Amino acid sequence: MDQKHIYDNLSEICSKSTTNLYSTSFSLGILLFSREIRSHIYNIYGFVRLADEIVDSFLEFEQERLLKEFKEETYKAIDQRISLNPILNSFQKTVREYEIPRDLIDAFLLSMEMDLYKSAYSQTEVSEYIYGSAEVVGLMCLRVFCLNNCNLYDELAPHARSLGAAFQKVNFLRDLKDDYQVLGRSYFAEINFEGLNKESKKQVEDNIQKDFHDALIGIRQLPASSRFGVYIAYIYYYSLFKKIKSLQFETIAQQRVRIPNYSKYLLLVKSWFRYKLNLV
């Protein structure tokens, strides 16, 4: 009797636990997906989170070696349909079931590598980084959301990229202090810690606003199995964005801006009523 399903269940539990531990916002959103796709989104998030931890958190270890080994193990897991790393084992299952293209995984891992040797990014470089670190994650999830409907995937792909870009850019602003002071990174060419003005801050914000606008168009066209869950993630991040917009640059450069959990639950209730009344 094939017993691998027991290990597969354990692997998915690991990915789910990783998501719940690292992200309240995404965890709440995933709970609103239908059961048939929920575990697969946990699997994608677990993979992304683990890679991100290598380049952001394991500063006292040989990060280049760890990331290289992680990359090799990722491709082995996909090719061999198993990995002794539970996170990679669950990820390969989703990759194979929803035929996630290898080039999306390549682009993501390339962006992770960039974090190891890049400290300042030009406009072109940051576009490449955002595509690999965030937009392709949106595209991976979209493969699941579309339930292998290739035509729907092609139609919604630009909007998924916009949502991923919006989330990443908001993360950049939220994590400005740690990225610059702890990790020594600067992702916005427009932002100069020594001389930011209102015009350059507004330029960044206008760019993010457009991404959110384009993303919402696609969210409205998602299948019912994922639409509300993605919409909630959108609402949480848009609320965080509005809070960041209301603050001076000096404030966001000195502290990490957050939306309290009680506010997230309130947003969830309000959004549910708007969704049911077709106001989304």
Residue 180's pLDDT is: 56
Q: What is the pLDDT of residue 1?
A: 47
Q: List, run by run, the mean pLDDT of 10-residue segments along the chain (280 residues).
A: 86 96 86 95 97 93 96 98 97 97 97 85 84 96 96 98 95 74 56 57 88 96 95 93 86 80 84 73
CA distance linking residue 96 with residue 3, whole number of Å = 19
Nearest to 177 by CA among 255, 247, 241, 116: 255
0.85 surpassed by pTM: yes
C-beta atoms surrounding 280 within 10 Å = 15
Q: How many CB atoms lie within 10 A of CB 11?
A: 26
Distance, CA of 140 to CA of 78 (rounded, Å): 15
pLDDT of residue 110: 96
Domains belonging to the chain, first-starting first, are 62-82+98-276 (1.10.600.10)
CA 73 to chain centre: 21
Quote the pLDDT of residue 173.
83
Single out the residue of 28, 24, 18 nearest to residue 50, CA to CA: 18
pLDDT score, position 260: 84
For residue 209, CA distances in Å to 157, 205, 213 come to 18, 6, 6
Residue 273 corresponds to which tokens in the numbers above? 């009523």
Beta carbons within 10 angstroms of residue 79's beta carbon: 10
